[in-house]
Amino acid sequence: MDVQEATAEGTAVDNGELKHDGKKVFTMGPGDILEGKLIYDGSLRADGRVEGEIRVTGNIDVASGATVKALLEGSNVGLKGNVEGAVTARDKLTLGRNARLSGDIAVRRLQIDDGATLNGHVRMGDFEHQGQ
């Protein structure tokens, strides 16, 4: 059975998957836990706890209450919570004002808001995509 329900302008649920302006978004709530490896053709928004490895073709957003101990790879990565692990942003990494990142990063562009902390090595510029 095919399910499609409009939830907001430009947003729809299709077969249990949230779509925003035609792009897939995997959303985790504050009580959700993801352990293991996720390779996803879309974006990820994490409000809960993540441990393992996350590789997405779209963007990664880590909310302020989230706790992440994982390798993260996405196009644009926005961090507001606590993250421990290597981060690869194929385009831009943004550390929000309360973000805490402990790990090495590889980015094309980097934005660090006042109040954020970063402990690790930074490699900037164009780089080849690492195989999955």
Q: For residue range 10-65, list pLDDT tens digits in order.
A: 444 544 455 656 679 999 999 999 999 999 999 999 999 999 999 999 999 999 99
Q: Are 21 and 4 in contact (CB under 8 A)?
A: no
* CA distance linking residue 37 with residue 52, whole number of Å: 6
What are the respective helix, strand and coil percentages of the chain, to the nearest 5? 0, 65, 35
Percentage of the residues of the chain whose pLDDT score is greater than 70: 79
Who's near 131: CB < 8 A, 6+ residues apart? Answer: none
Q: Which of 55, 60, 66, 59 is nearest to 99 (CA)?
A: 66
Rounded mean pLDDT of the chain? 85
Q: pTM, whole model, 2 decimals?
A: 0.81
